[in-house]
Amino acid sequence: MELEKAKERVEELVPLLKYYTQMYFDDKQVVSDYEYDMLMKELKGIEKEYPELIRKDSPTQKVGASIKKGFEKVTHEIPLQSLQDVFSFDEVREFDERMQKAAKENGKELKYVVETKIDGLSAALEYKNGVFVKGATRGNGVVGENVTENLKTIKTIPQKLKEPIDITVRGEVFIGKEEFEKLNADRLMDEEEQFANARNAAAGSLRQLDSKITAKRPLDIYIFNVQKSDSIKFTSHYESLKYLEKLGFNVNPVKILCNNIEEAIKAIEKIGKDREKISFGIDGAVVKVDDLELREKIGTTYKTPKWAVAYKYPPEKKETKLLDIVCQVGRTGAITPMAILEPVVVAGSKISKTTLHNEDYIRQKDIKIGDTVVIQKAGDVIPEVVEVKKRRRTGEEKKFEMPKTCPVCGAQAVREIGEAAWYCNGIECPAKLYRGIIHFASREAMDIVGLGDAIIEELINRGLINNITDLYKLTLEDIASLKKNGKKFAQNLINSIEASKHRDLYRLINALGIRYVGVKTAKVLAKTYGSMDKLIEASYESLYMRDEVGKIIAKSVYDFFREEQTIDVINKLKEYGVNMEAEVAEGVDDRFAGKTFVLTGTLERYSRDEASEIIEKFGGKTSGTVSKKTSYVLAGEAAGSKLTKAQSLGIQVISEAEFEEMIK
């Protein structure tokens, strides 16, 4: 490559790789490992040919990630370096030639240890007198994050060793294949964003500021190195791993001692063939010099040890048959198409189904039932359909259509303008039950104190509630049975459920979980129609004419009250004595009628919600954006762009003190 072209390519590669690297260390992988590795290899090649093009900010000159805000910094006494990647056995043999030369110069026998390169997040664990005292992420290799409390939640990390020694070890925190698939399946059902791969899931879990979140994630660890030990000296890396097992550490189970490089290559090939049998994700195999004294002689660069390389396996693609497309319903009602595949092993995992995301994804890729498709799963990336083999079509393939009714409960399925997903409109849908009850009981809805997530889940599991109306059938004995000595708790919850019957109508409207309807819109609907019956009877045109109710919200409300399930629930709630009327305020004070407020900055005496409630109480409205229609901008501390815009438009800006004068 000519110098000028090389310079242009470096200008493209450096910012791109820096972005990919930052995303990776922020636990958001935007490209596959293989694509990243190939770009990095290209950059290294250019820099080797033209050293004058090496920039200070080049990702080849840096190790690891920045420190996440909120964590205490930890300086590693022994740096946690990265490994040099190789992508062919020719490169492995070139590495061996360098090692052979070093061994000969130092009069040493050359052996290798081949281990799996676990796809996770590296961490150092420090023990004093056999007791775990500190743990840190790798960070940039020199400075990491103190994640001691998070590491203590991992069951396979011994809190006390079998011998009272001082030692620092290095390991890889990861999530196993089965655990990762279950974690993502749960997130899919909850309609939370799925983790791209197990590495991101593990890293994001370990780097949580709240260790309670970490404790809920299925983290594991394998130890693969002694960083420092003043109590015992080792001569062999392989023997040090055996000793760590005796101390009680969970050591990398794949460690093969090899007498020469050809044995090491065979070990790499065997690991590649056995990937499907390995219970954890790997993205390569590591070849290390076994003799620790020879390692010292060989030395390291700033970034990598010279005595080890990581062989990276290429991403694996497999062809299989798409047997069917079925739809599953998540807890918020989103209907997701899933591809049912002829089982195929890809990157060590048996794949029999994968998400097709939504209707648009299927149309864009022109996926049909009966197609031969190509599945890719690089490392532990979520399996996806990357290609359709259209030339293999026989004419018997079937076009897929999204169902117009919910596959679980039979209610109407709707797709709103501007959205990719279809949703179930049924309030009694079993798939939506858990999330629906959580919302129904929430503070801004029916405010049922004591009805937490765990209690709801247990009530559902025991079959005590099958829809939201069953809450009002619960007995003292039903609830008391959930807890040991739970009578007091049961009585308090029964009292709270009873009190919820008398909430204002807007709370019930909000509690029903109508799409796009929150507290603000619920208040408008309750105030406008005055009763549930009148709201049910409201025409689409009537709804659309209301303030704060646009076309999409009007259609959502209208369609919701046309469902048989909705009317069934409303009638049952009436039978249980739940209030269906809006509160009528005596001596209504509408001093802010026709006025729109925008809140910005931090208020001293009120939260945003409290200030908004006061404004609405006096007949005013609040908005999130400043426009010519804005009447006042209420500005607190550190007010930002909204204040600037208000000043440019000549809109009246009021302080918190002036606001208090207005509401006296």
What is the rounded distance in angstroms from the CA atom of residue 519 to the CA atom of residue 444?
Answer: 7
What's the per-residue H, E or C state across 526-584? HHHHCEHHHHHHCCHHHHHCCCCCCHHHHHHHHHHCCCHHHHHHHHHHHHCCCCCECCC
Identify whether the C-beta of residue 353 lies closer than 8 Å to the C-beta of residue 366: no
In three-state secondary structure terms, 640 is coil
- 159: number of Cβ within 10 Å: 11
Strand 632-635, strand 652-654: pairing: parallel
Burial 447-467 (b: 16+ CB within 10 A, else e): ebeebeeebbebbbeeebbeb
Spatial distance between the Cα atoms of 298 and 611, rounded to a whole number of angstroms: 68
Bridge-partner residues for 236, per DSSP? 291
Question: 3-state DSSP call for residue 169?
Answer: strand
What does the alpha-carbon distance between residue 35 and residue 499 come to, in Å, rounded to a whole number? 59
Positions annotated as catalytic residues are 117
Three-class DSSP category at 296 = helix
Question: Tokens 């990762």 label which residue?
Answer: 180
Who contacts 70 (Cβ-Cβ below 8 Å, separation ≥6)?
209
* Alpha carbons 92 and 94: distance in angstroms, whole number: 5
**Are 161 and 248 contacting, i.e. CB atoms less than 8 angstroms apart?**
yes
